[in-house]
Structure 1
Amino acid sequence: MKDFLIAPSILSADFARLGEDVEKVLAAGADVVHFDVMDNHYVPNLTFGAPICKALRDYGITAPIDVHLMVKPVDSIVPDFAKAGASMITFHVEASEHIDRTLQLIKEHGCQAGVVLNPATPLSCLDYIMDKVDLILLMSVNPGFGGQSFIPSTLDKLREVRKRIDASGRDIRLEIDGGVKLITSAK
C-alpha cells in the first residue's frame, strides 16, 4: 500500500473535456479526484455543484471522489453530493452549526466523513470528534482561491495532527490541501 495518495483538484481541468482530463490524470498516477466546492458565501469564489460529480460518474470515472465543501450551510448540500457519487465529503468546522450532526449526516448517506481545518483553526476542535472522522484535511493556504503559496507553519500542524491520529488508534486519513508542489510534498 502507498504511503500517500495523489488527489488533484478538478479546478485545474478543462471543463469542456472534464471526463477526458480526469481520465488522463488518473492514468498518470492520481489516486483520487478532488472537488473544491465553493458557494461564494463561505469563501469569496464560486465553483460547481453535485451535477458535475454525477456527470463524472456517468462518464465512467470509478476512482474515489473526495468532495471538499467550502459552503455554508453544509448539511443541505451533503445529500446531493452523496447521491451524485461522492466517496468522501469534508467540510470546514467553522461552516457547520453542529459538527457531530454533519459528520453523522455524511456517514448516513454512505460516504466517508471528514473535517477541514483552516490555517488558523485551533486543533482543539479535534478533541471532540476524533472518534467520528474518517479523514482530516489541513488547509495549507487560506481557502477560496487556487494558485496560493504553501503556508510553512502547516507542516508543524501536520505533525501534531499525525500524533493525535496515532494516539487515537484509528485509521484516519490525513490530507493537506493548497500550494502543494513536488518540493513541498517531500517535506
Structure 2
Amino acid sequence: MGTIQFKALTFNYSDQTQPLFDHVTLQFDASWKLGLIGRNGRGKTTLLKLLQHQLPFDGQLVTNLDFQYFPQTVTEPTQLTRDILMQLGNLDDSTFWQVERELRLLQVVPEIVCQPFDSLSPGEQTKMLLALLFIDDYHFQLIDEPTNHLDQGGRQVVANYLRQKPASSSSAMIATF
C-alpha cells in the first residue's frame, strides 16, 4: 500500500496575496477514501493538480502512487461512446464487459454506449467516465466533482456507488465535492 506525503508544501497563484497552501505537512494512506468538501475556490481541485505535478510548488510531494484523474479528457466527442471508452481505458472487446458491469451499478442502460458521446446528457457522460475510472486497478483515483451535471436522483446513485466501493488498492480515491 502506498502513501501520499506533503512536506512543507507551499503554493499560491500569482494573483493571490496569501498562499493557498502555506507549509502544509500531511500524510495520506492510499487505503483511505477521502472526500474533500468545501466551497468553490478553496483549493480542492488545486490539491488534485498538485498531486499530478500540474502546478509548480515549494516543498515536497512524496508518493509511490500513479494517479488517474476524473473527469478524463474526451478529445473526439462525436465518436461512439463505446469507442471512446475503449480508447481511454485501453480496452478491447474481451474486457469491455467490465465497463458494462459498472454501468449497471450506476443504473445506466448499457445500450447508450452505442450512441455518440456528445449526444449523451452531461449526467450520462459523467456516469460513463466514472464507470471507466473504476475498472482501473492500477491507479489511485483523483475524482474531481463527480456529481456535477447530475440531478438529485443521479447524485444519490453516484453517492451510493462510491460508498459501496471497497477501500483497496484498486479503488482508493480522493474525491472533491
In the superposition, the TM-score normalised over structure 2's length comes to 0.37
Indicate the structure with greater strand content.
Answer: 2
Which protein shows a greater Rg? 2
In the superposition, the TM-score normalised over structure 1's length comes to 0.35
Bigger RCO of structures 1 and 2 (CA < 8 A, at least 6 apart): 2
Indicate the structure with greater helix content.
Answer: 1
